[in-house]
Every structure is written in structure tokens, then in C-alpha cells.
Structure 1
Amino acid sequence: MNWVNIMDELKLFTIDKAIGGNQDWFTDYWMKLGGCGAVTACDICIYLSLYFGKKLLYPYNLAQISKKDYINFSNIMKPYLSPRVTGIDTLEIFMDGFKDYLADNGEKNTNFAGIYSNCSLINFKNAVCAQIDKKMPVPYLNLKHKDPELSDYVWHWFWLAGYKKTGDNLMVKAITYGAEHWLSLDDLWDSGYERKGGIVLIDAK
């Protein structure tokens, strides 16, 4: 294990008391059903605007992020990461759509790399922790999973905003549906299915 700390967490932002956005707010049927990729990208844009000075990525008031503005922002993001029948079910679809949004908004110094969870658990943990140690959020795609306790995360995009080591297990703070939840990264990685999700590594200069 080569992460710097036993525990590290990112700064978070709230929207009308919610932590990050929530696709349940949307009135568009498809966005409400399958807008998790767009929500994750919207949240990352707000985070980068707040904490990395990339103000062009969020076109509304950062001093007071409102639910109304967030919903409007999601409609701007929708053409880039629109819901589809099979979902945004690969890292490449997410990264390509997000890159297009960044390019259209004048951001040239943010890059992405994907790591699927068919890598070793230790490499997966190291990648997550290295990003958090750099104060960078980690978009996460989970597809099918054998654990019924993770049913809310099946075929779902969310993002990671912290980690803590508990014995041999690594817990990660997942942000989704306007709330935070501590989950076992060991369990998330071990989906029990051949087809895997994974994480997106963000490099913002």
C-alpha cells in the first residue's frame, strides 16, 4: 500500500442542504431515470470550479449553488452525457462526453484516464487513494454487483470524496443522490461479474 495517509477526505459543497446533486430533482424523465453520469460530471465541474479555480466549468453562482441552477446546469450537460438504453456503461463514453464539455467551455488543461476494476485490488486501491491525496474527486462506475446491499449502486455513476483504512479493508466516501455514504472499496471492486466498471482519474493543471 503506498497511499500517503490512513484517512483523507475532500472538501464538499452543498446544494440546498444536499451534498452534491441528485437526479431525483430532475423533471426530464430520462435524466431522472438515468442521469447519474451527468450528475457526476456536474458535481465534478462544480468541485473543480470551487477548489481548482476552473470557473468556466460552472456557469452559475458558486457562492450560493441552488437546486434551480443545478437543474439548469444538468440540462446543459445532458447533450454530452445523455441517458441511453444501455446507460453510460463504459469509462470511455463518460470520458469522451466530459472531454467534449470541457473543450466547448475553454478548458484545455484537464485530462482523464480510466482504470477498470479488472486490475488487481491493490492497484485499484492505490489509484483511488492517490487521487484523493491530491484532493481530486474520483468518478466511479459500478455495473452489476453480487452484493444485494449495493443494489442502489448497480449500473450507476457516483464519485468518491474520501477514504479511510480500517484493518485490511479500505472504506471510501461515495457521493450520490445528494448524500454521502461510506462503502467498502474491497467489496465494490469484487463485483462477482466478468464485466467490470471502474474509476476515472482526473488530472487538472
Structure 2
Amino acid sequence: MINRSIANENIFKIQEEDTQNSFYGCNQEWYTTMWQRRAGCGPTVATNIVYYLNCTRKSSISDKRLWTKRKALLLMEEVYQYVKPTMRGIPTTKLFGDDVLKYAEAMKRTIQLEILDVPKGRKSRPLFQQLLMFLDQALGNDRPVAFLNLDNGEEKRLDSWHWVTIISMVYAEEDSRATIRILDDGYIKEIDLGQWFQTTALGGGFVSFDYVDEN
């Protein structure tokens, strides 16, 4: 089995000031309005990745100490101004990527995006090995990956029409077995990627991005 992971998942650890409870990654339920909480999974995932890059790239001036919920929400609101859900949320990787580019431009940062779509039509989908190589390259280069799941198929631990953040993957190169670990709702969850790929009716997609020349 081959294991690929970001370098430091503990960067995602968030502490709630009042209760001292700990979380991993942001939770869209922390947003202040009902619409944000309902449709905010895309900007939440974008916030996770932006924060990770800010903490791990050379030119970052971000505070690398334990992230607090209050600080996380400030960044979530900042990102939300650019990575903004439509009435259908953010239902495509292109829309997500375009919004991330807008945010980066506003922050005077240059980023490079890579996208792999898994279309609804099965004949148009990439091979599962192509998906594995996409994730292997991203995680191997210390880049968390945004994962859009439009339909969870038989993988019941995933929510449909939902974005999550991939932080690691274990896979067998010779067959269709692969397990990913994701950030979702403030927790780390384990998902059977092969089962999702084989049974999803609507597909989804994957977005990897990084700051240019700042690794």
C-alpha cells in the first residue's frame, strides 16, 4: 500500500476559546447567517487550504501557533467574500477555481490551479488510476485537495452536494482500493474513495492549488 499525506495535519487543529474543545479544520456551521451555514461548504474548504498554505509556504507571515475558532471564522468570512455560493452552492470545480483565483488576486497572491473532474457520464470519466495519481501528486507536494462530491453513491460517510478537504490517502496502485482522510464538520473522517468512484451517480471533482514560487 502507498501512503500520501500532507506534511503536518496538526496545523488544522482549532481550539474553541470558551470550551477548550478542539476541532480539525473549519466547520460551515460556524458562519453567522443561515444561508452561509447551509451553502458554505465550498468557502469553508477554500479557507482550510488557504490557511494551510499560509502556514507552510516561505513568504507567509501568518501566525503558525494553534488556530482559534475566532481566528478561523475571521478568515472564513474573508474568503467568503470571494468564494461565494450561488443558489445551488458551488456545484462545479470551475466555479470554485475561478472564485479562488479572485480571492488570490484580491490578496495580491499568485496561485496555480489543477483540476480533475469526474463527470456524470461514466464514459467521460477519467480512469481511477488517473485520480489516484492526481491526489498522489498533490498530497506528495504538501497540498490539501478540495473534493466536490455531488452524489455519495454507496459511501454513506459522505454528504452529497458537498465540498470536503482531503489531507491524506492510502491506496493500492494495482487495483481500485483507496482510502482518503478528509476534514469535514470540524473532524477528520475516513472515506472509501474507490467505493465512491465506482458508485457515484453524479460524480464531482477535485481541485488542487498552491502559491506560485513559494514552496
Task: Decide: shared fold, TM above 0.5.
Answer: yes
Distance in 2 (alpha carbons) for counterparts of 1:54 and 1:34: 32
Q: Is the 8 A contact 2:148 2:164 kept in 1?
A: yes
1:170 aligns with 2:182: no
Q: Is the 8 A contact 1:31 1:82 kept in 2?
A: no
Q: Is the 8 A contact 2:28 2:185 kept in 1?
A: yes
- Identical residues among aligned pairs (%): 20
Q: For residue 77 of structure 2, what is the aligned residue in structure 1?
A: 75
Q: For residue 8 of structure 1, what is the aligned residue in structure 2?
A: 4
1:179 aligns with 2:187: yes
Q: Which runs of 5 or more structure 1 residues have no equivalent in the other structure? A: none
Q: For residue 116 of structure 2, what is the aligned residue in structure 1?
A: 115
| Deviation of 1:191 (Å) | 3.9
Q: Is the 8 A contact 1:30 1:83 kept in 2?
A: no
Normalised by the size of structure 2, how large is the TM-score?
Answer: 0.83
Distance in 2 (alpha carbons) for counterparts of 1:28 and 1:113: 31
Q: How many residues get paired?
A: 195
Q: For residue 18 of structure 2, what is the aligned residue in structure 1?
A: none
Residue type of the alignment partner of 1:157: W
Distance in 2 (alpha carbons) for counterparts of 1:115 and 1:144: 16
Distance in 1 (alpha carbons) for counterparts of 2:200 and 2:49: 29
Distance in 1 (alpha carbons) for counterparts of 2:96 and 2:53: 17
SS at match of 2:67: coil
Residue type of the alignment partner of 2:200: G
Residue type of the alignment partner of 1:49: N
Q: Is the 8 A contact 1:144 1:154 kept in 2?
A: yes
Distance in 1 (alpha carbons) for counterparts of 2:43 and 2:4: 26
Q: Alignment RMSD, CA only?
A: 1.9
> Which of the numbers 104, 107, 132 marks the counterpart of 1:105?
107
| Deviation of 1:72 (Å) | 1.9
Q: Is the 8 A contact 1:141 1:158 kept in 2?
A: yes
Distance in 2 (alpha carbons) for counterparts of 1:136 and 1:75: 22
| Deviation of 1:54 (Å) | 4.8
Q: Is the 8 A contact 2:117 2:206 kept in 1?
A: yes
Q: For residue 131 of structure 2, what is the aligned residue in structure 1?
A: 124
Q: C-alpha offsets along residues 23-59 of structure 1, whole Å, 9 cap, x if unaligned? A: 1222211111111111111111110011123536x6x
Q: For residue 19 of structure 2, what is the aligned residue in structure 1?
A: none
Residue type of the alignment partner of 2:198: D
Q: For residue 150 of structure 2, what is the aligned residue in structure 1?
A: 143
Q: C-alpha offsets along residues 138-168 of structure 1, whole Å, 9 cap, x if unaligned? A: 1110002322614x42101111111112684
Q: C-alpha offsets along residues 108-151 of structure 1, whole Å, 9 cap, x if unaligned? A: 2x21121112211110111111111111111110002322614x
Distance in 2 (alpha carbons) for counterparts of 1:48 and 1:148: 29
Q: Is the 8 A contact 2:164 2:183 kept in 1?
A: yes
Q: Which runs of 5 or more structure 2 residues have no equivalent in the other structure? A: 16-21, 119-124
Normalised by the size of structure 1, how large is the TM-score?
Answer: 0.87
